[in-house]
Amino acid sequence: MEQNPNDTRVLYNANCPVCSFEIGHYEAYASQKALPLRFEDLNETDLAPWGLTRDEAARRLYVFKDGKLLSGISAFLAVWQDMPRYRWLARLVDMPVIRPLAERVYDHVLAPLIYRWHLRRTERQQRAEAHARR
């Protein structure tokens, strides 16, 4: 897919199995349909233009669209709105009763849980690397 400055840019953690599975699915669909979505692994991209540290970026999904940095449910909505197959989901989650609930679940349950898994995985990997150097 040709890169365009007007593309929706999705920042995700490819080292996270949950994140890479979900975003990998979106990336394959976007590529198949030639959609204006770009996917950037936070571990391999310059985060300065995003204005985020690696730790901040690992805590939740971030999307840059139409000159705005979005995160969490707003970021998911932006991605889903750009994908014809998922527009129904964007409309559903954006409903006045559902969106506040989705934001609470994502912000207080899912994102923190996935982030803790990320920290544990990183810590185990660092211990294994340190042990291998001995």
Are 63 and 10 spatial neighbours (Cβ–Cβ below 8 Å)? Answer: yes
Are 57 and 47 spatial neighbours (Cβ–Cβ below 8 Å)? Answer: yes
Q: For the chain, which residues make up each domain, given as ranges?
A: 8-133
User: What is the pLDDT, as a whole number, of residue 4?
Assistant: 63
User: What is the pLDDT, as a whole number, of residue 58?
Assistant: 95
Two structure tokens written together for 39: 């996917």
Give the separation between CA 73 and CA 107, rounded to whole angstroms. Answer: 8
Measured CA distances, 60 to 41, 69, 120 (Å): 13, 12, 16
Instruction: Say what the alpha-carbon torsion angle 101, 83, 18, 28 is, to the nearest 10 degrees.
Output: 170
pLDDT in tens, the chain (134 residues): 345 667 899 999 999 889 999 999 999 999 999 999 999 999 999 999 999 999 999 999 999 999 999 999 999 999 999 999 999 999 999 999 999 999 999 999 999 999 999 999 989 888 888 888 87
